[in-house]
Structure 1
């Protein structure tokens, strides 16, 4: 199996390290800058559960160097994908699968979603439709990412918690390609179930991200404050209820209720969300993938989402003024 990690930051690096350590998969990592240079010189170091290991996957700067793959795991931030889709073309052979390990509502969301919205494109994350055309949804295996990791220095991945990557085909089938990828991830030490309703799983994660992340960026509060302060918790809860109404109109079923989902966020403790971290570091924030797309879906299915709209307007202004949008 030839597998390429495109966007080998924290999550991509975690996957690359464990897959390469197992040795059954031909792993190629595409990265850039000091991170690439460090991996090429010293290997990729993974720090997890108090243990360190160094592996040496093939590390290159471009898709041309990597060549066609069986699987391309895309672990970029969502806003980077439109600019990267064309660069990825040399990785795509006739049967190459694209594993979409990206936060928020993905570009392929409506592909094979039976009903009146089938094959509709999501402008928030694919403004000109080029991602759909270049990375056609027929290639996609959905992936919901649960682990947390960071890059404390170039060439080093620090794994904080979590080991599950849930997979699923957009049409709900249990395909041979999804099963094969699941087996490879399990052999590498991950949990990788293949689910028939991948969008249900995506929404449970997004349910928290669509509220926790924007509120943290607007207030600089950590998760314990957002979930513990009565006023912030109320705003968070209302946003999530609006999100639930939108998702249920699209056929999603939530296995837990909103208060249990908020409680799950509270258990993480004094954690800075990824959006707050991006704001503090002056990096582009996933505004549209995590909330703009939710508001777009609300318009499509004609569900009111007044709190989400207000928070989105505030968040976009906050991001623009900080140079992060």
Structure 2
């Protein structure tokens, strides 16, 4: 009954652990991507303790079996000795009964040896010393029956032990299969997570590249439009007689006459001021172009840094995943070796 209670408690504890593990696997908030190192260590310690208990129990059973074997050997030796003594006694009796009258040492008042009959112990009196009070005539049969019962009990114990060992091996194999399935599910979940993460990173990279290309195209179109506007402005300034204030616009058909109302000439100081303003405007435009170029270079540098960081992060994640996979494989290999050693025992 005690052994059955222990097995029942073990089964209940195992079912509770499996239930908790299933809850963690099916609940995304509680499931951790990777191996449960603490749980694996606890399982290893529990298996080692169970192996020690099983070894102690096997040693105890071996001692009991050895004692039973010694007892059976003693019983068989006693039976063999008794059979030899019985055979010697019968041999002596037959030898004595087969002697002739002349060969016997004791006096015989019988007329012929044919009148002798086998001794009936139950009919003999006390003085014949053939039967005694308290004598156990069924001793040898009882010992033989006890030996047979012990032999049967030992065989039954060995059968039960083999059945328990087989059940333990089956349970260990089932547990190993369950852990392998759990590891496979974890690996698939990690693979799917890494694939989704890589997909998102690729989409982010494509989006950033598209935004960068769009910004570059917009900047190029703006520069091209500005250049066209500058060219148009320069062309209109050069070709317009009013804006360029050429003296030819005031020329008349009459020589040496000028229309003052059509002439808007500038003094040297005013012309120099206009030239300086144009130079300042050109410098500002050049500074703006330089600033835009530096901004583009800085943006490209930031994008490069971002890509490097993403690459390093992906490398570290892959390295961590590989390390966890190796740890899980090592744990499964060690569990398989332990199960194999227990099966050999």
TM-score w.r.t. length of structure 1: 0.18
Higher-Rg structure is 2
Q: Which has the higher contact order (CA 8 A, sep 6+)?
A: 2
Kindly indicate which of the two structures has a greater share of residues assigned to helix.
2
- For normalisation by structure 2, the TM-score amounts to 0.18
Higher strand share: 1
